[in-house]
Structure formats: C-alpha cells, structure tokens
Amino acid sequence: MQISCIIATYKREKLLARAVKSVLQQEVDADFEVIVVNDSGEPLSPADWQKDTRVRVYLTNRSERSFARNAGLAMAKGEYVHILDDDDYMLPGAYETLLSRARETDADWVHGYYEFLDRDEEFVDEVRPVWQGRVFAVALIECPYIAQPSLVKRETVMNVGGYDPAFTTTQDTELFLRIAAAGQVIVSNAVVCKILLGNTDASHTKYWLRKDMNRMLREKAFGRRDCLRLLLKSFKDVSDPWVRGRIVRCYIGSAVRNLRSGAIMTSFSRLWGMMVISLAGVVRWRFWRAVLGR
Amino acid sequence: MQEGEQILITAVIPTYKREVWLARSVNSILEQGLSADELEVIVVNDSGEPLAEAPWQSDPRVRVLTTYRVERCVARNLGAALSQGKYLHFLDDDDYLLPGAYSQLLDRAEQTGATWTYGAYNLVDDNGRQIGDTMLPWVRGRVFALALAGLAIPGGVSLVRRDAFFEAGCFDVEMLVQQDTELLQRISVLGATEYTRGVVANYRTGVTEVSTTKWSRSDKMGDMKKEKAFIMPCCVGEIELCFAERERKEVRGKLVRYYLGSAARHTKQHAYLTALSRVGIAIRLALRGLLFPIFWAGLRGKS
C-alpha cells in the first residue's frame, strides 16, 4: 500500500462524495486507500462510493477534527498519507505527480500547487509555493492550506505525534510545522488540488479562534528547545529577508504577550531569539518592511 | 451503534501479539453483566496481522480495529475517538477485571460526577498468584499536585469521563511510558478524582520483554512528564488549589525538589531564563513549608 488518503467529514455529504471520487479516480501506478472519518455522530446516507473496496468509513462521535484525523492516521496502512478536507478535491493526475516526485527524492513531504475557489466554485487564485528543503521558518509564519496538496511519509507523521488536539483550527499548519522541523520538503511543479474558500458558515471549523490559535502555534514553536537552531538551519534554504523579518515580528509579539501575562523570563528569552534572528537581516530593506508589518 | 440511548462504558484494549492474555482480558469485561446498550469493547490490534479466531470476537459488543505498529497511545486514542460511551476504560491486554468491577466503579462515578474514578488492584504473576499487598486507593478530590509528585493510578482500574478525556487532549503520544499518570495530570485539572475501595482488577506484572513498551526510555519520560506539567499555564495555581483543599507538606517538599531539578536540567542545557523562573516558583512554593520538618524530609526525598 503506497498512499492512504484520510478525509474527516462533518455533515457535508454532497461535497464529500466529490472529494472521495476525485481520489478514487486517480490514475496512478500504486495501491491506495481512502479512509473516511465521519465525525457527525450520525451514519452517512448510502452512496455508490461507499461500495468501492478501497474505501473504509469510520464513525467518530463528534470528537473534533484533530481526533478524527488522528484516528484515520492510526489506521492508515500506506507508506505515504494524504489528508484531504471534505470540501476540497484533487485534480486528475495529482497522485501520479506527487508520488513520482516523492519516490524520486525520498523526501518526507512533497507538496504541489493549488487553486482557490470561492463559494460559487469560481476560480479565485492559484498559489505556487516554491519553498523546499528545510522550511521550518516559512512554515512558522504562514502556510494555511498545506495538507491538501501534500503527500507525507506516514512514518514521519507518526514520529512527530500526529495532530495536536489542542488546536481546533490551524491544526494543519501546526502539524506540518513539526513535519518541517523533522524532515526535508520537496515541491512538485503542478497544480494538484482545488480548495474551497469562504464557506465558513457550513464548516465545522472554529474560524473565530484562528487568531488565538496562530498565536498558540507560535508559542508552541518558540517553546521548543531546538527552535532557534531549526530557524537558523532553515535560513540556509530559505534566504528571503522578508521571512526573517516576519519571524522577528512574531518574536516581538510573543515577548509582549508573555510580559503581559507575567512570564518575564520567557519574554526575555523571546527577545534573545529576536536578536539572534535579526542579526543577518538588518541591512536589508525587505527585512525592515516585514518587521514593520507592511 | 446509534446515538440516543447512550452507551455507558467503552473499554479500549490495545493489543500486540498476546492473544492468550487478550482473550482473558476481553472476557473479563464481557462477563461484567452489561448489555450491548451499555457496553462496547474496542480491541485495537496493533500487529497489522489478523487475530486468530476466538469466541469473544463474535460477541456483538466487541469491535476489532487493526493498526500498523503505532505506539500504544496512538492505538488508545484511536479507540477513544471511535467510542460512544460516557466513560472510557483503558485496559492492557494482559490485565483483567474482577467480577463486579464495573458496577462498583460506575456507582461511584455516577454518584459523584467525578472525572476519574478508580479502585484497588492486585499485582499477580503469570500464574495468577498475588504478589505483595493489594494496592489500595487513598486520594480523592483535586489531585494535580499529587499526580505531579508521582501518584500513579493505572488506566485499567479507572473509569475516565469521555468528555474530560477529550477536553484534556487525549493521551500524549510523546509519552512512551507513564502515559496514564501524565493523562491524570491533565485531567485532574478539569475535575475531581474519586475512588471505590473494592478490588477491581488483577495486574499482571514481572515480564516486560514481550511488551512493546519502551522501558529503556522510562527515566527520560519521568522528567518529560514533569516538564509537561510545569509548562501548563495553570500549574502553580492548581498546585496551590490542591494544597488549599488538603495541605501535604511532604508533597510540597517533593514538588520544590522537582522544580529545583528542572532548574538544574535547564541550566545544563543553557536555558538560563527558564531555570531562573523554575527557581522562582520553587521559592514561592517553599515559603509555606519552611518551618515543618516533614517538608524538609520531602525536599530531601526521604518521605
């Protein structure tokens, strides 16, 4: 078994059917399976995709998406895992492209390009992330839609511990940040999936928590013993001064928050991190623009 | 399994190539006298190979899931995610319940609404002979400080409220051993712990070589468990809350020692600021114990 696709779903059966079918129709020289984790607490109504032998459906009892996905990950058999949302879908040839790139490079994580669609399924934008290698620094500042266009080695995901259930949104970013810390990332130059944007009312995601969760994510990363070392290593592969500036900004924000909540020592250690990171950036204009948030 | 009539207990048993013991363990649960509306048993077979056929597998209350060599915590979290019960019971495949265990635990849990309810247990050898004394329960209420100080309550003798289990964030998969105590640490912040004095389970002990448990890592894990508690934002507040409920000077001393130990570890790793903040908390905790000899005994590790 080469690929396990995990789709956690919550009361969106029409979209789910499209997502599952987009995977089942992939033409690729490999075995794959689709694990649908239905977190609605109610059984799905019967559909033809459920008859496919490559599909397994499990019912979790409204235990939040991270738990549901961890359950799917635990039962996955494939060498690589692919985590898809129920409202997004893969384009034909996606698995072929990603898998051949993964085999070629033996990377822990391969990601491709993706397109955004709005509520009426109209094209909004195409995103072409180009970063590869050690991408911890980039993953720390922004990459919200990261799981859908990616194949990751199952072993790597399990080694970093799977999803952290403390995160009710931005859990993908948080997981992939830890994967980026653990391994090598390779990019594949093709659009592999379409991601639905803006359908927040029908979603199970707690969008209003996004800002808090982003902060929590950074606190968790900054709290890592090896954070500074990872960042410095990462800047060898990602030399953009803008990224450096954004991270310095995050460090300052974290120092202020910690100072306010009385964690004075933590606040000092953030300022130390900030100084180490900014050393190599001070002469660059783009760095200062990022620090100032422009 | 539908919603509506809620299942009371979900037992989760992760297993790895120990089918003889497993059958005894599953049967001990099925014989507790709970019907299919009240009980489900989720066996997570982590060997990746199908289990040999056994009579217990045809019981409608039993469900077998297969995983492919994941850690025990991942297997347990999987069982919990697919569970329906109001309470979760995590049993190991070589331990087993005694008759009447569930009814005792359930009575106590329902009466008190505790998040974690546990009972007494015996340690037994491979032939089922008891080793040593019965392990009797002795603490209730807010137990965070005690859990941090090393109170170990095995999951196999405990019913844990499902909602609290998820709120606390499941088993921590980084913990390779001492997972139960680390979970207790997080759950004890959410509510009270209760006990029943009846003996509810037999724990097989002694043989570790067939187990997937990484015993070699256990010393590191003890420190990791403490660090995980120290970085909880509510840590100091919760410790004081526990001591406000019942002051234990020897535990206070022990915690001060742990904080100082953590400070020393951080100093070694050149994390001076964290070390300083640990010392600060150690001093704050020590202030209310300085005059008591038993505090100093705890601090020196002689309690």
Whether A24 contacts A49, CB under 8 Å: yes
> pLDDT class for B206, splitting at 50, 70, 90?
low
Q: Is some CB atom of chain B closer than 8 A to the CB atom of A76?
A: yes
Secondary structure element (H or E) that encloses residue B245, with its range: helix B235-245
Each residue of B7-53: pLDDT tens digit?
A: 999 999 999 888 888 999 999 999 999 999 999 999 999 988 888 88
pLDDT at B209 over 70: no
Phi–psi pair at B66, nearest 5 degrees: -110, 130
Q: Long-range pairs for A273-281 at CB < 8 Å and ≥24 separation? A: A273/A222, A273/A227, A273/A228, A274/A248, A276/A228, A276/A232, A277/A228, A277/A231, A277/A232, A277/A244, A277/A247, A277/A248, A277/A251, A278/A244, A278/A248, A280/A235, A280/A244, A281/A241, A281/A244, A281/A245, A281/A248
Predicted local confidence at residue A202, as pLDDT: 52
Which residue in B169, B274, B276 is closest to A165 by CB distance? B169
Whether A45 contacts A102, CB under 8 Å: no
Share of chain A above pLDDT 70, in %: 96
Each residue of A50-70: pLDDT tens digit?
A: 999 999 999 988 778 889 999
Which residue in B3, B71, B82 is closest to A71 by CB distance? B82
Q: Find the helix packing angle between B272-286 and A264-278, rounded to 10°.
A: 180
Each residue of A230-265: pLDDT tens digit?
A: 999 999 888 888 899 999 999 999 999 999 988 888
> pLDDT class for B133, splitting at 50, 70, 90?
confident
Residue of chain B minimizing CA distance to A258: B233
Which residue in A162, A223, A265 is closest to B276 by CB distance? A265
Min Cα–Cα distance to chain A from B135, Å: 33
> pLDDT class for A200, splitting at 50, 70, 90?
low
Residues 6+ apart with CB under 8 A from A187: A110, A111, A112, A129, A130, A131, A132
Q: Is some CB atom of chain A closer than 8 A to the CB atom of B29?
A: no
Mean pLDDT highest for which of A90-94, A126-130, A202-206, B172-176?
A: A90-94
Residues in chain A: 294
Q: From the CB of residue B165, how many other CB atoms can be counted at a distance below 10 Å?
A: 26
Min Cα–Cα distance to chain B from A153, Å: 14
Which region among A23-27, A142-146, B114-118, B266-270 has the lowest average model confidence (pLDDT)? A142-146
Min Cα–Cα distance to chain B from A15, Å: 23
Q: Is some CB atom of chain B closer than 8 A to the CB atom of A38?
A: no
> pLDDT class for B214, splitting at 50, 70, 90?
low
**Token pair belonging to A113:** 């390009």
Tell me if B81 and A269 make a contact (CB, 8 A cut-off): no
Which residue in B78, B83, B84 is closest to A75 by CB distance? B78
Share of chain B above pLDDT 70, in %: 94
Tell me if B277 and A266 make a contact (CB, 8 A cut-off): yes
Tell me if B169 and A164 make a contact (CB, 8 A cut-off): yes
Residue of chain A minimizing CA distance to B167: A166
ipTM for the whole complex: 0.83
Residues 6+ apart with CB under 8 A from A260: none
Tell me if A164 and B77 make a contact (CB, 8 A cut-off): no
DSSP A263: -
Q: What is the three-class DSSP state of B75?
A: helix
Which region among A43-52, A276-285, B203-212 has the lowest average model confidence (pLDDT)? B203-212
Q: In Å, how far from its chain's centre is CA A221?
A: 15
Predicted local confidence at residue A51, as pLDDT: 93
User: Model-level pTM greater than 0.80?
Assistant: yes
pLDDT at A201 over 60: no
- Among A8, A1, A3, residue whose Cα is nearest residue A57: A8
pLDDT at A83 over 50: yes
Each residue of A119-137: pLDDT tens digit?
A: 788 888 888 888 888 999 9
Each residue of B215-254: pLDDT tens digit?
A: 666 778 889 999 999 988 899 999 999 999 989 999 999 9
Whether A167 contacts A67, CB under 8 Å: no
Average confidence (pLDDT) over B164-191:
91
Residue of chain B minimizing CA distance to A267: B273
With b for 16 or more beta-carbon neighbours within 10 A and e for fewer, the A193-216 pattern comes to bbbbeeeeeebbbeeeeeeebbeb
Q: Work out the mean pLDDT of chain A and round it to a whole number.
A: 89
Cα-trace Rg, chain B? 20
Predicted local confidence at residue A263, as pLDDT: 84
Residue of chain B minimizing CA distance to A261: B233
Which region among A267-271, B124-128, B243-247 has the lowest average model confidence (pLDDT)? B124-128
Which residue in B81, B273, B276 is closest to A60 by CB distance? B81
DSSP A133: B
Rounded Cα distance between B100 and B104, Å, is 6
Tell me if A42 and B66 make a contact (CB, 8 A cut-off): no
Which residue in B2, B3, B82 is closest to A58 by CB distance? B82
Rounded Cα distance between B43 and B64, Å, is 5
Predicted local confidence at residue B2, as pLDDT: 45
Chain A residues touching B280 at Cβ < 8 A: 265
